Amino acid sequence: MSNRISVQLFGITREIVGSSALTLDLPQPGQVGELLNNLKEHYPALNGLRSLLVAVNGEYAEADQPIHPNDEIALIPPVSGG
């Protein structure tokens, strides 16, 4: 059974993917780590980022956190400031 999810992309991740959002199918139950692996496989340039965080429902998530179909998911790229 698949788990269709929507992922919001920001900053450099949006540039790499070429879109501000993606819809993906993950095995159910999916996890954050599986999502990252899937994205890095399809968009190898993501591997070059020094850090890449995932937020689920507005909170930073660890690799083993489950992902559910209605969760709000965002990729948070490295941010530089001045």
Is domain 2-76 annotated with CATH 3.10.20.30? yes
Q: What's phi and psi for 33, nearest 5 deg?
A: -60, -40
Amino acid at 52: L
pTM, 2 dp = 0.84
For the chain, domain boundaries: 2-76
* CA–CA separation, 57 and 61 (whole Å): 9
Give helix then strand counts, H and E, for the chain. 2, 7
Q: According to the model, what pLDDT value does residue 43 have?
A: 95
E strand or H helix that includes residue 12:
helix 11-17
Higher-confidence residue of 1 and 10: namely 10
Q: According to the model, what pLDDT value does residue 26 have?
A: 74
At residue 81, does pLDDT exceed 70?
no
At residue 1, does pLDDT exceed 70?
no
Which tens digit of pLDDT belongs to each residue from 8-47? 999 999 999 999 999 888 777 789 999 999 899 999 999 9
